[in-house]
Structure 1
């Protein structure tokens, strides 16, 4: 199959990837072709983690960070590291042919690193994951997203929003290439805490699930070093509905149902409404206003927020013990 100027070998193009809907491997490749311009705007030049579904969406899957031993000579890769420092040769989305090559391996969507392969020392994306907790849903995530946007606007910053492809929302900022993932995570922690102070009824920064309640959790740890986030315009494989992690205009948030944003509907929406993230790369922004919030929290005596358990213990991090368990000790 010719994808751009590259001939990509596609085996079993009629294999059904989305049972009950009927879309095939070829349909998925054609979807990515239909959204290729905005897709490459957000994912082009970045390393990705592939999640492969050999039996199609909704079936068992596995993550593949390393590309196979035998790959086409034109395939672009780069060395990434795991939390423990183990290197891997990961796929870089250099063009749409690389997307089609991965789809042929039953990779339905892509988990994307927050930096360009050409500049791995700098995280140029802040990614805030608004995660509905039990008792909340998409409507509450929308309210939280507007609170987040208001905060960033006060600080002179521009945010872009997309669905996660599930019940939540992701809010992104494009950053100047000046800060590493540790600094970006500090900024994310500060944002989560400030939002919780402003709307404790709606938003929580609590890492421990037992403390979150029926609120929207701002998952700051999605910005920890070596973390990937499910990419814009990518198609979810963990259900059979072919839902897309879809960039949206802010004024469309309250009227959209994320379940209707699928590979069958998103291309037409893009053709009608345009790319809501068309300007995301135009003016990279400073992280300084958010780092100022972090420094104010540290000056007030706050410790760092807890890290995920796979990370080494960090400076100024509290004990990684759930509060209920700590009380029992």
Structure 2
């Protein structure tokens, strides 16, 4: 008979885990309790990456194979010890978001059926400072993962050339994410400007492989560098977190030399803890040396001086200064 609940220890607290035997990942049959044990096993590296950050929750009450919904607000009935902070949407709507203050906070969310953790790129205690540049390599139709690998190395070469240390992880789905830990000198608008500059420079260097074009019709069969993942208030899928896929794939940091051989689907909650134990955390040094992106912002300003406009913003954002028309070229031709 299935257990109705159990308790686990985390961060000096006893946490109640309901329906611990509920299957969350059908491929191998891992349960809610297996997911709890995974996060206990990766406590140190995941808190180094997510600790102190407000986090958007994506809940799957019936497991990765079921329906889901996003939850920005913690909601009524949360325990008194749960840390929360106010975050805002692009239109100014506010909500109280979960802060991943320690492992207990993360496991509380897992017990609520959270299989998607999407952290903001700032600390809850300093929301005006964005401390991560996130380069999302988005493979569209016809783009192979080998093309994504090649693009990742182009990103690394660009950063290396400017003395910027970068770190790579699998998305847990189809692409790769490249992160740079930043000095506390920029807000989200400045970091997005740096990302726009990176995308445009990469497109200049490898127009056959890489695109900075926002409109899908303009990308061709190229890897899109999604600069708008750095727009203020945007989130990306959390480092070391298990994706809501039936195979339980992990968004897993890897050494740069592993990019050439990694297979995203092979990194799961079943084997990532052993990988960390054997190889260590490839992002262990990330927080030790925050980086400057002054050069990248200079590139952005140079492009503006040369007559370029800002790149298009996502549709849910207010119209921004110096933004081009928020419509694709083909649609603009059809409009009177």
TM-score by length of 2: 0.96
> How far apart, CA to CA, are the structure 2 residues paired with 1:130 and 1:155?
20
Unaligned runs of 5+ in 1: none
Alignment of structure 1 residues 35-54 onto 2, 5 Å: 35-54=42-61
> How far apart, CA to CA, are the structure 2 residues paired with 1:12 and 1:171?
36
Asked if 1:318 is matched to 2:324, the reply is: yes
Q: What is the aligned-residue RMSD (CA, Å)?
A: 0.8
Q: Could you say what secondary structure the match of 1:254 adopts?
A: coil
**Would you say the 8 A contact 2:129–2:184 is kept in 1?**
yes
- Deviation for aligned residue 1:209: 0.3
- Deviation for aligned residue 1:41: 0.4
Asked if 1:71 is matched to 2:91, the reply is: no
Report what 1:258 is aligned to: 264
**Would you say the 8 A contact 2:26–2:246 is kept in 1?**
yes
Alignment of structure 1 residues 276-287 onto 2, 5 Å: 276-287=282-293
Superposed CA deviations along residues 33-90 of structure 1, whole A, max 9, x for unmatched, are: 1111110000000000000001100321100010021111111111111111111110
> How far apart, CA to CA, are the structure 1 residues paired with 2:290 and 2:327?
38
**Would you say the 8 A contact 1:50–1:109 is kept in 2?**
yes
Report what 2:301 is aligned to: 295
> How far apart, CA to CA, are the structure 2 residues paired with 1:54 and 1:139?
35
> How far apart, CA to CA, are the structure 1 residues paired with 2:313 and 2:256?
31
**Would you say the 8 A contact 2:174–2:264 is kept in 1?**
yes
> How far apart, CA to CA, are the structure 2 residues paired with 1:8 and 1:177?
35
Which ranges of 4 or more aligned residues in structure 1 deviate by more than 3 Å? none
Report what 2:311 is aligned to: 305
> How far apart, CA to CA, are the structure 2 residues paired with 1:276 and 1:22?
29
Which residue of 184, 207, 218 corresponds with 1:211?
218
Which residue of 311, 320, 333 corresponds with 1:327?
333
Report what 2:279 is aligned to: 273
Q: Could you say what secondary structure the match of 1:193 adopts?
A: helix
Unaligned runs of 5+ in 2: 1-7
Superposed CA deviations along residues 3-47 of structure 1, whole A, max 9, x for unmatched, are: 130111211111110123210000001001111111000000000
> How far apart, CA to CA, are the structure 2 residues paired with 1:199 and 1:2?
50
Report what 1:99 is aligned to: 106
TM-score by length of 1: 0.98
> How far apart, CA to CA, are the structure 2 residues paired with 1:199 and 1:252?
22
Which residue of 22, 34, 40 corresponds with 2:41?
34
